[in-house]
Amino acid sequence: MRYLPLTEADRQSMLEAIRATSVEDLFRDVPKAARLAGPIGGLPNHMGELEVERLLGSLAAKNIPAGSVPSFLGAGAYRHHVPATVDHLIQRGEFLTAYTPYQPEVSQGTLQVLFEFQTQVALLTGMDVANASMYDGATSCAEAVMMANRVTRRKKAILSGGLHPHYRDVTTTDARFIGFEAVALPAAPTGGEDLLALVDDKTACVVVQNPDVFGHVRDYTDLAAACQAKGALLIVVVTEALSLGLLTPPGDMGADIVAAEGQSFGNALNFGGPYVGLFAVKDKYVRQMPGRLCGETVDADGRRGFVLTLSTREQHIRREKATSNICTNSGLCALAFSIHVSLLGEAGITQLAQLNHAKAVQMADKLAAVPGVELLNDGFFNEFTVKLPKPAAAVVEELAKRRILGGVPVSRLYPGEMEDLLLVAVTETNTDADMDAFAAALSEVLA
C-alpha cells in the first residue's frame, strides 16, 4: 500500500483528535445494512509494482501494436510519428498532475498553453476562434449540431453521407433526446449527393466532412454560400487534422463551425482514446460555443495574463441553461497537440502534409496496379477507398495473418453494406518496404 502515507500511529492520534473510536465509526451515517464488514469480496488484494507490470504486460503482449507491422489503418484515427519531446514534456508533473486552471495565479502555464492551442486551432482551420478542446471529434460534431440549433432556432440537421458513421451516430443519438431532427443521408462512397436540395427554412445546419470518410476531398465554397443564403450554418468536420496543413481550410471555404479530431498531432492511437476534439467558429458565435475558453487579461500590476473566461455559458453558472453539460476539456491531449504543432511549425507542417499526400498517391497507384483492384477517388489526402473483387473483411483477416494491417473494411463502419470496399490510409510512418509488402500481400490474397 505504497500510495498511503498514514501510519497506524498517525491514524490513532488523528482518531483521538477527532474523538472517534475507529475509522469505521466515521462511516456511521451509512445505513448498517449496506456497510461491508471488511474488504470487498471477489477481488484480489494489493500487488507490488513488479506484479502489476507482469500482469498488464501480459495483456499488452496479446495485442499487435500497429507500429510493429505494416499498418494502413485510418477511418478517423491516424498513426503518425510523435516526436519524443512531446511525450517527455506532457509527463512533466506540473502539466500532468495539475487540475483545471480555476486559480489563474498558479495556473498560468496551463492557461497560456490553452491560449496558444486556441490560436493554433483557429489558424489551422482558418476560423476566427477556437475553444480549449472537446472530448473527441465525434462529440465535437454533435455539439456543433446542437449549437447550430441554438444559433438558428431551427430544428433540423442534414448530415452528409460522407460523414464518418460513428460521428453520425453520436450526433443522431444526442439529437434524438432533445427532439431535434438529424437527417442522415445514405453512405456516398463516390459522392454525388445533392445536399442543398434538402435545405429548407427548418434546416439549422448541413454537416459535411473533408476529407470525407471515404477519403474524398472537396471544395465546399459554393455549398457554404448556398447554406448562408438559406439561413443554415455549414459545419465542416475534419477527422485527419494533418490535412489542414495542405488543403484549403474550412474557414476559407466559408464554414460557420469546424468540428475536428486532433489526435493526429501529438497523440497516440490508444485504441480509440483519449483523443482531442477541436471546435472552431466564426467570431459572432462565440457566446453560443460549448466547452471551455481561455482569454487574455491583465493582472493587478498590469502584466499580461490568462484566465478561463465567458464561464456564464457554462453549467456551473447557467446550470440547465448552459450551452453544454461539458465541464472539462482534453487538457493534456490539447497540450500534446500544441507541442507537436509547435515543433513542426509552418515549414514542418507543410512538409509533413505533403509527405503524407505523396506517399498516399504512391500507395494508391501500387494498389490500383493489383489485378481486380479499383481506386474510387479522384482527389484525396492520405486516405482513399479501393474496390476489391472479394469481401474486404475477409481480405483484411487474411492480411492480418500475414502480419499486415491492411486498412479498414468499409463494412465494419456500415454493417452489411459495401462489403467489397476497403479504406486505406498512408502516413509518413509507412516505408517504401511497407507499401511494397502490402501490395504484394494483397495480390497474393486476391489471386
Partner 1 sequence: MSMNNQGRPSAIPAGAASFDGVTGTVTGNRGLQIEEPLIFEQDSAGRTGVDLPDVPQVASRLGAVKPRAKVGLPGLAEPQVVRHYTRLSQKNYAIDSGFYPLGSCTMKHNPRLNEKMARLPGFSDVHPMQPVSTVQGALELMDQLAYWLKTLTGMAAVTLAPAAGAHGEMCGIMAIRSAHEAKGDTGRTKILVPESAHGTNPATAAACGYSVDAIPATADGRVDLEALKAKLGPDVAGLMLTNPNTCGLFERDIIEIADAVHAAGGYFYCDGANFNAIVGRVRPADLGVDVMHINLHKTFSTPHGGGGPGSGPVVFAESLAPYIPVPYVTHGKGGFALVENAGEGPAFGRMKAFHGQMGMFVRALSYMLSHGADGLWQASGDAVLNANYVMARLEDVLTASFEGPCMHECLFDDRFLKGTGVTTLDMAKALIDEGFHPMTMYFPLVVHGALLIEPTETESKASLDQFVDALRALAERAKSGDVAYFQAAPRLTPRRRLDETAAARKPVLRWTPPVPAEALAAE
Give the count of beta carbons closer than 10 Å to the beta carbon of residue 408. 25
**Window 228 to 257, contacts with partner 1 (CB under 8 A):** 244-249, 252
Grid cell locating 276: 482531442
Q: In angstroms, what is the minimal distance from the CB of 267 to partner 1? A: 9
**Window 378 to 437, contacts with partner 1 (CB under 8 A):** 378-381, 396-397, 400, 405, 408, 412, 415, 428
**Window 199 to 228, contacts with partner 1 (CB under 8 A):** 210, 216-219
**Window 72 to 91, contacts with partner 1 (CB under 8 A):** 73, 75-77, 79, 83, 85, 87, 89-91
Q: How many residues touch partner 1 (CB under 8 A)?
A: 218
Establish if 194 lies at the interface with partner 1 (CB under 8 A): no
Confirm if 295 and 307 have CB atoms less than 8 A apart. yes
Establish if 49 lies at the interface with partner 1 (CB under 8 A): yes
Q: Which is nearer to partner 1, 1 or 197 (CB)?
A: 1
Q: In angstroms, what is the minimal distance from the CB of 387 to partner 1? A: 17
Place of cell 507499401: 435
**232: nearest Cα among 127, 173, 128, 159:** 159
Grid cell locating 397: 483477416
**Window 322 to 381, contacts with partner 1 (CB under 8 A):** 322, 324-333, 335, 339, 341-352, 354-355, 357-359, 361-362, 364, 377-381
Confirm if 264 and 80 have CB atoms less than 8 A apart. yes
| Cis bond before residue 274 (omega within 30° of 0) | yes
**418: nearest Cα among 435, 393, 396, 439:** 393
Q: In angstroms, what is the minimal distance from the CB of 197 to partner 1? A: 20
Establish if 35 lies at the interface with partner 1 (CB under 8 A): yes
Of 160, 292, 373, 445, which lies in the binding site for partner 1, with binding defined by CB under 8 A?
A: 292
Establish if 183 lies at the interface with partner 1 (CB under 8 A): no
Q: Which is nearer to partner 1, 371 or 416 (CB)?
A: 416
Grid cell locating 349: 507542417
Establish if 11 lies at the interface with partner 1 (CB under 8 A): yes
Establish if 116 lies at the interface with partner 1 (CB under 8 A): yes
Establish if 115 lies at the interface with partner 1 (CB under 8 A): yes
The span from the first CA to the last CA of the chain, in angstroms, equals: 59
Q: Which is nearer to partner 1, 200 or 345 (CB)?
A: 345
Grid cell locating 22: 475507529
**Window 50 to 69, contacts with partner 1 (CB under 8 A):** 51-53, 55-68
Q: In angstroms, what is the minimal distance from the CB of 164 to partner 1? A: 7
- 106-142 burial, b at 16+ Cβ within 10 Å, e below that, comes to ebbebbbbbbbbbebbbbbbbbebbbbbbbbbbbbbb
- CA 148 vs CA 73, 145, 186: distances in Å: 32, 5, 22
d(CA 256, CA 141): 13
